[in-house]
Structure 1
């Protein structure tokens, strides 16, 4: 193998647009909404810090 730089990536064939029916569109919209909600929950959880706030557990011994 000689050192001639990076090999060019192969060109990918263009994908034709798919025809979506109402069920597909509803599913895609639902999936998009779930991703948005998940992202918001992660942002909200990140602001509060550790979940539960329990920290280190102490043993029951005295």
Structure 2
């Protein structure tokens, strides 16, 4: 005889957690996090703004544009 309870069993429902009240330490911590996130957003915006205009560091080997005169070497 086959059983009807084949497959995954559903977990029992947990009672909902009540929202705990925030004390002063939690409020200060959240404010610090918000300030840090704002600073990071500003830095990202500045990076995009600067990189959009021109690259900061142009890498590679620079070649000399001076031409050598064969007659000047003698």
* Alignment gaps of 5+ in structure 2: 1-14, 65-74
Point out 4+ residue stretches in structure 1 off by more than 6 angstroms: none
User: Aligned pair count?
Assistant: 50
* Alignment gaps of 5+ in structure 1: 1-12
**1: distance between equivalents of 2:60 and 2:40?**
29
Greater RCO, CA 8 A, separation 6+: 1
Instruction: Give the match for residue 57 of structure 2.
Output: 54
Matches within 5 A, 1:20-59: 20-49=22-51, 53-58=56-61
Q: Report which of the two structures shows the higher radius of gyration computed on alpha carbons.
A: 2
TM-score, reference length from structure 2: 0.50
Q: CA RMSD in A?
A: 2.9
